Amino acid sequence: MAISNTIGGQLANIDPLNSLRKMFGFLVAALLFLFIAIEINNSILGLVATLLLGLFAFMNVPGLQLYVVELAEKLVPQDITLASSFNIAAFNVGIAIGSTIGAQVTGKLAISYTPLFGAGIVLLAIILIFRENKKKSTSQLEKIMNCED
């Protein structure tokens, strides 16, 4: 976790949204790798996949936190602390939803399918990041066109 947070923080300092998109992409790859390792019943590949999954799962935390704080600085500078706490609350909601989905998948299908469903959830996150990035680019273009600072 310390390694992934450090790497994620360094990447997020460069460009939070683009870094998050890449980090989530690597997370999808790690989840699919874990699925393959489980399906072929290879414990060494499973161990490597689990290590990669742990690395990429926590790498996004600094970037998400930075992005929320940057947005709060622009939109509600008086409530930066509150915005930061909402971010942590959102992580907890995500954990609860992910646990519920994981339990349903395990109960209805098999535990080996949980990485596939996890990859699907991460793909949804990537779509949201692309959408947010597009919105950000559009608003920057509008500022340039209107000659605003």
More confident residue, 123 or 32: 123
- Does the structure show a pLDDT above 70 at 146? no
Confidence of residue 148 (pLDDT cuts 50, 70, 90): low
Nearest to 1 by CA among 88, 49, 82, 62: 62
- Does the structure show a pLDDT above 60 at 147? no
Domains of the chain: which residue ranges? Answer: 2-145
Reading phi first (left if > 0) and then psi (alpha if -120 to 50, else beta), residue 121 is in: alpha
The model's pTM is: 0.62
Which residues contact residue 21 at a Cβ distance below 8 angstroms, ignoring those fewer than 6 apart? 126, 129, 130, 133
Helix (H) or strand (E) holding 25, with range, is helix 16-39
Per-residue model confidence (pLDDT) at position 92: 92
Q: How far apart are the first and last CA of the chain?
A: 39
Query: 87 is written with which tokens?
Result: 């971010």
Confidence of residue 106 (pLDDT cuts 50, 70, 90): very high
Q: Please state, as a whole number, how many other Cβ atoms lie within 10 Å of the Cβ of residue 17.
A: 18
Confidence of residue 99 (pLDDT cuts 50, 70, 90): very high
Confidence of residue 108 (pLDDT cuts 50, 70, 90): very high
- Does the structure show a pLDDT above 80 at 78? yes
Per-residue model confidence (pLDDT) at position 47: 81
Per-residue model confidence (pLDDT) at position 79: 86
C-alpha distances (whole Å) from 125 to each of 39, 77, 109 are 25, 26, 24
